[in-house]
Chains A and B, each alone.
Chain A
């Protein structure tokens, strides 16, 4: 198909949303229809996407193909069309979103089958894909912003999917509000861009930015920092990462699709999409890389001490997103996108694998009417026996995320770290970022192996009665896992490094070149070569292996107590377990004071006290007082009248003469 059919990829899931949405309201038990429509529309969208991608592959466009749909907002010089843009970058994202999206939709058929909100779930999931596609296909910042806030909405609805629990509804709300802080940044950036280059179309930005802005100037730095605020919100970076761990309150397929593979990478996508701007703002790029590196390390350290299997993966996601920002902040945009893609494979696999484990644990506890925590790894152990497929696949994903060659994560992570190291030659602070990245890689290998060891190895701690009920997931769930497993293993071929001879290398980088060339002109990437490259690679591999072994040994060194009889954490482990108390700090420094000020000062004092009390009712009182005074003056006593008259006359005379 030609790219002009691209709208079909959006309309198909939208139709799915409508059908499932109506079913959710009218006939929530029509599960068979929902099972067909929900994943069906996604597979169809994937087929369309693949066919369009094949066309692009055969004839890669030099310029982005922009397809206007209708005139949206227009006032004066501001003309925003609702248009879609197809180029190499959006095509890659399109394949990831519809491809991984399809797999997760299929998995959900098994995972959510018994949920009473089955139809509603698929309606939301379909709607999410609609907005995600608008986000990646939008040809201008405002259209991107429709998708940007739309995915935030779906994220909100899906995190709070089981809204009867206050904690879940709280988590959804938190996600939306924290994201809005980021959206504020995107809006300011849009205003600044519009008033400086007169357009918000990406093609215009790429064309006009190099002449409109002075490279390294204040203006471009401010614009990109505001844009990055948006990215930090959507992609859960310091200081706005706090919503993502809580977002695990949603069903696990949601965590896989939205909070690992697609939506949270939108910030990375936005930096790549506006790479021309970031490449002209070295200070902003440094901030992006620094925040990314710091987040990678910080989140990984929290991941070391979590027991909830999804929380480990959540902090892992925050950490891996940090890597992607380290990449794009080092101007290695294609490396950032590369890691985005491989991460989508192995993290989706890890989350769905975790979902499969939770599904099994949940069934076991359900069967015995036990109320233990089905997500706490201290209640697991030895699951490799009952769930071999899930186990092997998660182990592969673990090797991939840890960066063991030849799995996909090795190549993408290595490319990011190399780019950061290379940037260090001109700005030594990047050596620090690189070191953060390496240290985070060590921690990543550690906490992932800890996850595998606690979940699948050693003695089972689920309970004697429950043990009988632990079982492997059905084929509709393991099927998608297998495909993701294959992709996690071989995903590296997308962009093999140059040192591997005799194979086509740097496929993704070359593919993205037409889109990223303008940025590369502004800020070229200097990858280390020769012996430096070799040392870096060997160091990376040793780091990964050391982390894996340490994670394994440390976890199984002594017996793990089950969750309910586990002792309290002490010392620094307690700080890590409590996530450095960041949520508590935000709560007491920002949220509670803001609510208290709004209630006690603004509402009770200013509104009711000053304006209403003194101003409005006060002026009523003043009128009454004046009336009373006037009444007293008309006393009928001539003497008083004379005094007042004389006083007035003197005052008047004084005023005139002066």
Chain B
């Protein structure tokens, strides 16, 4: 496989193609008639996924460094360049994204019936934005992708959303915008300070800024810069108490919007911590005050998210709050900065992508049949739609961390890894497994078990082939990652180790540049 990929020069073009191809697709889709638009969009996302698969073999993740680095000057007078690269962490995030997109497209076939070309075109633009965020190695470029991703999402919620869509879309937009503007200011300040301190070179390059981030002058303003990055990412995660946009956004978003939001967009918060906020300012991030604050917020998020999820009458809100709980585990692991904690956090991010994505698809399928998300409108569905009920059960169990399914691996590693460093906080976080069982099984009971006492539920059809085609890949992922996560863990380990070195300020950033140059040549 590796030789074949080398022979077609895969490494030299793949990252650009992954960014450009969906954009071209978006143009084509927006110009095509409605009936063709969705098929075309599916073809584009499927090709994108197949193209991206080669990364699994071609990217050398053994050093944990940024591979396939490509830098092209973009606006040279401002030091802005188009720089992209990929390591084990980016790799898994990119593959998670490209794998989900075809599913999102066919999962929308019957849900979206209006203005289809526009909808699918936005999905494709979103794809570019998401992949861009995970591979951008220039802070300006990163910021562009960050915003590119925000706008299509705003429209997806605002146009194809539910009854209260405008409120939710605006809330989502302002919340995220507030964070990202602060981050933009922080980036600009960093670039300026780096230029003053260095040889006057103005550069938005990630490695350039990394080099100067820990210098003494930056040190004095570092807490404020860190705070700006932190807020931008904490809102995205979302970390308690910055989470209240999420339930509204999820409830109003169309199915695919919820899936993308939960499975990919939330991970950008944790990704941002690992890639930017913490490596730039490890001293601040791991100061006693910040560590204690973040760990406390993460643990509150885990327990609070689960408890509030328990009492939600709306299924989508329940899953939204469960995300707050799950992502709390990821943040806990990131701040533990032990190898188990970090790898666990990454596994939580991936695992949550699979299981929560599948949950939102399932809820969407139910909604298409009954047009309600009220848990109490259901009951006894196991008799009417057994296949749906079976899949929902498996996914729900994966979500609450049943060992043997994917959720457990990440959760267990995070808790093992954090326990040594924050034993009491981790002990509290572990109670999350009890509350998770409570909210999920209670909901499951009210949806698929109990008496079939609502006439409207008696005749709904079970999953069709298209819907199974959406769910089965996710199910395979859930079981595979639960039983044999080793290949993924192996891809992540070197990058996770490198992150840990960065948290201790032990990596000389310049080294990255040298090594990656060697690798890309």
Q: Which one of B307, B402, B483 lies within 8 Å of A598 (CB-CB)?
A: B307
Chain B contacts with A in 320-345, Cβ cutoff 8 A? 338-340, 343-344
> Are A166 and B451 neighbours in the complex by a CB distance under 8 Å?
yes
List chain A residues, Cβ under 8 A from B397: 153
Q: Give bound CA distance, A351 to B304, whole Å.
A: 42
**Contacts A76-B339, A163-B449, A195-B420 known; A184 to B402 CB distance under 8 Å?**
no
List chain B residues, Cβ under 8 A from A153: 397, 402
Is the C-beta of A25 less than 8 angstroms from some C-beta in chain B? yes
Q: Mark A235-274, 1 if CB is under 8 A from B, else 0.
A: 0000000000000000000000000000000000000000
Q: Which one of B338, B383, B403, B426 lies within 8 Å of A142 (CB-CB)?
A: B403
Min CB distance B376 to A, Å, is: 13
Q: Give bound CA distance, A195 to B397, whole Å.
A: 28
> Are A595 and B311 neighbours in the complex by a CB distance under 8 Å?
yes
Min CB distance A10 to B, Å, is: 12
List chain B residues, Cβ under 8 A from A145: 403
> Are B416 and A191 neighbours in the complex by a CB distance under 8 Å?
yes
> Are A603 and B484 neighbours in the complex by a CB distance under 8 Å?
no
Is the C-beta of B296 less than 8 angstroms from some C-beta in chain A? no
Q: Give bound CA distance, A177 to B437, whole Å.
A: 6
Q: Give bound CA distance, A172 to B489, whole Å.
A: 35
Q: Give bound CA distance, A605 to B449, whole Å.
A: 31
> Are A598 and B310 neighbours in the complex by a CB distance under 8 Å?
yes
Chain A contacts with B in 120-165, Cβ cutoff 8 A? 142, 145-146, 149-150, 153, 156, 160, 163-165
With CB as the reference atom, state the residue of chain A lying closest to B379: A166
Is the C-beta of A75 less than 8 angstroms from some C-beta in chain B? yes
A65-73, A210-218, A352-360, A484-492 - the one binding chain B: A65-73
> Are B427 and A188 neighbours in the complex by a CB distance under 8 Å?
yes
Min CB distance B396 to A, Å, is: 11
Is the C-beta of A190 less than 8 angstroms from some C-beta in chain B? yes
List chain B residues, Cβ under 8 A from A598: 307-308, 310-311
Min CB distance B491 to A, Å, is: 12
> Are A184 and B430 neighbours in the complex by a CB distance under 8 Å?
yes
**Contacts A71-B486, A75-B413 known; A166 to B450 CB distance under 8 Å?**
yes
Is the C-beta of B32 less than 8 angstroms from some C-beta in chain A? no
Q: Which one of B241, B343, B433, B434 lies within 8 Å of A615 (CB-CB)?
A: B241
> Are A75 and B493 neighbours in the complex by a CB distance under 8 Å?
yes
Q: Which one of B338, B430, B442 lies within 8 Å of A188 (CB-CB)?
A: B430
Min CB distance A296 to B, Å, is: 27
Is the C-beta of A644 less than 8 angstroms from some C-beta in chain B? no
List chain A residues, Cβ under 8 A from B273: none
**Contacts A195-B419, A611-B241 known; A78 to B434 CB distance under 8 Å?**
no
**Contacts A166-B451, A169-B449, A191-B416 known; A149 to B403 CB distance under 8 Å?**
yes
Q: Mark B437-448, 1 if CB is under 8 A from A, else 0.
A: 110011001001
Q: Give bound CA distance, A547 to B307, whole Å.
A: 48
> Are B419 and A176 neighbours in the complex by a CB distance under 8 Å?
no
> Are B489 and A73 neighbours in the complex by a CB distance under 8 Å?
yes
Is the C-beta of A466 less than 8 angstroms from some C-beta in chain B? no
Q: Mark B359-370, 1 if CB is under 8 A from A, else 0.
A: 000000000000
List chain A residues, Cβ under 8 A from B244: 607-608, 611-612, 615-616
List chain A residues, Cβ under 8 A from B339: 75-77
> Are A173 and B441 neighbours in the complex by a CB distance under 8 Å?
yes
Is the C-beta of B387 less than 8 angstroms from some C-beta in chain A? yes
> Are B489 and A183 neighbours in the complex by a CB distance under 8 Å?
no
Is the C-beta of A469 less than 8 angstroms from some C-beta in chain B? no
Is the C-beta of A180 less than 8 angstroms from some C-beta in chain B? yes
> Are B308 and A603 neighbours in the complex by a CB distance under 8 Å?
yes
With CB as the reference atom, state the residue of chain B lying closest to A187: B430
**Contacts A25-B386, A74-B486, A602-B308 known; A149 to B413 CB distance under 8 Å?**
no
List chain A residues, Cβ under 8 A from B448: 163
**Contacts A146-B403, A183-B433 known; A72 to B311 CB distance under 8 Å?**
no
Q: Mark B196-222, 1 if CB is under 8 A from A, else 0.
A: 000000000000000000000000000
> Are A25 and B311 neighbours in the complex by a CB distance under 8 Å?
no
List chain A residues, Cβ under 8 A from B243: 611
**Contacts A75-B417, A163-B382, A165-B451 known; A146 to B404 CB distance under 8 Å?**
yes
Is the C-beta of B431 less than 8 angstroms from some C-beta in chain A? yes
Q: Mark B295-310, 1 if CB is under 8 A from A, else 0.
A: 0000000001001101
Is the C-beta of B485 less than 8 angstroms from some C-beta in chain A? yes
Is the C-beta of B10 less than 8 angstroms from some C-beta in chain A? no
List chain A residues, Cβ under 8 A from B310: 595, 598
Q: Give bound CA distance, A177 to B400, whole Å.
A: 11
**Contacts A71-B486, A188-B430 known; A164 to B403 CB distance under 8 Å?**
no
Q: Give bound CA distance, A601 to B313, whole Å.
A: 16
With CB as the reference atom, state the residue of chain B lying closest to A163: B449
> Are B450 and A164 neighbours in the complex by a CB distance under 8 Å?
yes
**Contacts A160-B449, A598-B308 known; A76 to B340 CB distance under 8 Å?**
yes
Q: Which one of B241, B307, B451 lies within 8 Å of A594 (CB-CB)?
A: B307
Is the C-beta of A599 less than 8 angstroms from some C-beta in chain B? yes
> Are A70 and B484 neighbours in the complex by a CB distance under 8 Å?
yes
Q: Mark A164-204, 1 if CB is under 8 A from B, else 0.
A: 11100110110011001101100110111011000000000
Min CB distance B80 to A, Å, is: 31
Is the C-beta of B415 less than 8 angstroms from some C-beta in chain A? yes
Q: Mark B403-422, 1 if CB is under 8 A from A, else 0.
A: 11000010011011101100
Min CB distance A473 to B, Å, is: 29
List chain A residues, Cβ under 8 A from B380: 163-164
Q: Give bound CA distance, A169 to B430, whole Å.
A: 26
With CB as the reference atom, state the residue of chain B lying closest to A152: B402
Is the C-beta of B452 less than 8 angstroms from some C-beta in chain A? yes
With CB as the reference atom, state the residue of chain A lying closest to B304: A602
Is the C-beta of B171 less than 8 angstroms from some C-beta in chain A? yes
Min CB distance A244 to B, Å, is: 17
Q: Give bound CA distance, A253 to B493, whole Å.
A: 47
Chain B contacts with A in 110-167, Cβ cutoff 8 A? none
List chain B residues, Cβ under 8 A from A194: 416
Q: Which one of A72, A75, A177, A597 lies within 8 Å of B434 (CB-CB)?
A: A177
Q: Give bound CA distance, A99 to B398, whole Å.
A: 31
> Are A163 and B450 neighbours in the complex by a CB distance under 8 Å?
yes
Q: Give bound CA distance, A442 to B174, whole Å.
A: 71
Min CB distance B494 to A, Å, is: 12
Q: Give bound CA distance, A150 to B489, whole Å.
A: 24
Is the C-beta of B476 less than 8 angstroms from some C-beta in chain A? no
Is the C-beta of B390 less than 8 angstroms from some C-beta in chain A? yes
With CB as the reference atom, state the residue of chain B lying closest to A145: B403
Is the C-beta of B175 less than 8 angstroms from some C-beta in chain A? yes
Chain B contacts with A in 339-357, Cβ cutoff 8 A? 339-340, 343-344
Q: Give bound CA distance, A24 to B386, whole Å.
A: 9
List chain A residues, Cβ under 8 A from B423: 191
With CB as the reference atom, state the residue of chain B lying closest to A174: B441
> Are A73 and B415 neighbours in the complex by a CB distance under 8 Å?
no
List chain A residues, Cβ under 8 A from B390: 25
With CB as the reference atom, state the residue of chain A lying closest to B436: A180
Q: Which one of A25, A191, A602 lies within 8 Å of B387 (CB-CB)?
A: A25
> Are A72 and B304 neighbours in the complex by a CB distance under 8 Å?
no
> Are B403 and A78 neighbours in the complex by a CB distance under 8 Å?
no
> Are B451 and A190 neighbours in the complex by a CB distance under 8 Å?
no
> Are B485 and A180 neighbours in the complex by a CB distance under 8 Å?
no
> Are B430 and A75 neighbours in the complex by a CB distance under 8 Å?
no
Q: A169-B450, A191-B420, A603-B312 are in contact. List 5 more A-B contacts (CB 8 A).
A: A73-B413, A160-B449, A163-B449, A184-B431, A611-B244
* Chain A to chain B contacts (Cβ below 8 Å), 14 pairs: A25-B387, A70-B486, A75-B340, A75-B344, A75-B493, A76-B343, A142-B403, A153-B402, A177-B438, A184-B434, A187-B412, A188-B419, A188-B427, A191-B426
Where the two chains meet, the residues of B that have a C-beta atom closer than 8 Å to any C-beta of A are 171, 174-175, 241, 243-245, 304, 307-308, 310-312, 338-340, 343-344, 380, 382-383, 386-387, 390, 397, 402-404, 409, 412-413, 415-417, 419-420, 423, 426-427, 430-431, 433-434, 437-438, 441-442, 445, 448-452, 483-486, 489-490, 493, 496
7 residue pairs, one from A and one from B, having the closest CB atoms: A76-B339, A163-B449, A191-B419, A599-B311, A169-B449, A598-B307, A75-B343
